[in-house]
Chains A and B, each alone.
Chain A
Amino acid sequence: MAIDGTKIVHAVMEGSKIRESKGIIPLFGVYLSLLSVEYYNNLSFDFEEKMGKTREAEAEALLIEAAQECGYATFQGIRNSWEWEQIVSPMIETKEDQILGFAAVAVAFGWGDLEVKELVPGEKLVIKVGDSYEARGYLKNYERTHSSKCYMLRGVTGAFMDLLYGEDYPDGCFDFSAEEPFCRAKGDPCCEFIARKSSCKKNT
Chain B
Amino acid sequence: MIIFDWQHELNRKGHRVAISGQPIAMHCHHYNINLQKTLEDTLGDEGVQLLYQSAEETSYHGFQNLFNQYKKIRTIKSKLELAAMLYQNSGLGIIHFQRVRPSGARIESPASHHVTGWLAKHGRRDTPGCHFTRGWIAGTLEAIYSLPCGFYTVDETKCKMKRDDECIFHVQER
Residues of A that sit less than 8 Å from B by CB: 9, 12-13, 16-17, 19, 22-25, 30-40, 42-43, 46-47, 50-51, 62-63, 65-67, 69-70, 73-74, 77, 107-113, 131, 133, 152
The reply to whether A131 and B16 form a contact with Cβ atoms under 8 Å apart is yes
Report which of A37, A112, A152 forms a contact with B15, defined as CB distance below 8 A.
Answer: A112
Residue of B nearest to A55 (CB): B42
Q: Which residues of B contact A19 (CB under 8 A)?
A: 88-89, 91
> Given the complex of chains A and B, what is the CA–CA distance between A37 and B55 in angstroms?
11
Contacting A at CB under 8 A, from B49-93, are 50-51, 53-55, 57-58, 61-62, 87-93
**Complex Cα gap A102–B12 (Å):** 19
Docked Cα-Cα span, A132 to B154, in Å, equals 33
Classify the interface of chain B: helix, strand, loop or mixed.
helix
Q: Does B17 contact A (CB under 8 A)?
A: yes
Bound CA–CA A11/B44 (angstroms): 39
Partner of A43, one of B24, B42, B54, B94: B54
- Whether the pair A30, B29 counts as a contact (CB closer than 8 A) is yes
A165 shortest CB reach to chain B, Å: 21
Contacts A34-B91, A46-B53, A107-B15 given; 14 further ones with Cβ under 8 A?
Answer: A13-B12, A17-B7, A22-B116, A30-B30, A34-B17, A35-B58, A38-B57, A38-B62, A43-B51, A47-B50, A50-B47, A70-B31, A111-B25, A113-B14
Cβ of B43 and Cβ of A47 under 8 Å apart?
Answer: yes
Pair A34/B19 contact, Cβ less than 8 Å: yes
* Cα(A32)–Cα(B93), bound, Å: 11
A31 touches B25 (CB 8 A): no
Docked Cα-Cα span, A108 to B47, in Å, equals 30
Q: Please measure, in the bound complex, the distance between the C-alpha atom of A35 and the C-alpha atom of B92, giving whole angstroms.
A: 9
Question: Which A residues touch B29, using CB under 8 A?
Answer: 30-31, 33
Q: A23-B111, A33-B90, A113-B15 are in contact. Are A42 and B10 (CB under 8 A)?
A: no
User: What separation, in Å, do the CA atoms of A89 and B155 have in the docked complex?
Assistant: 46
Chain B: CB-nearest residue to A133? B25
A-B contact pairs, 10 of them (CB 8 A): A9-B12, A12-B26, A24-B113, A31-B113, A38-B57, A40-B25, A42-B57, A47-B50, A51-B43, A70-B34
Nearest-neighbour CB distance to chain A for B121, whole angstroms, equals 8
Residue B23 is within 8 A (CB to CB) of chain A in the complex? yes
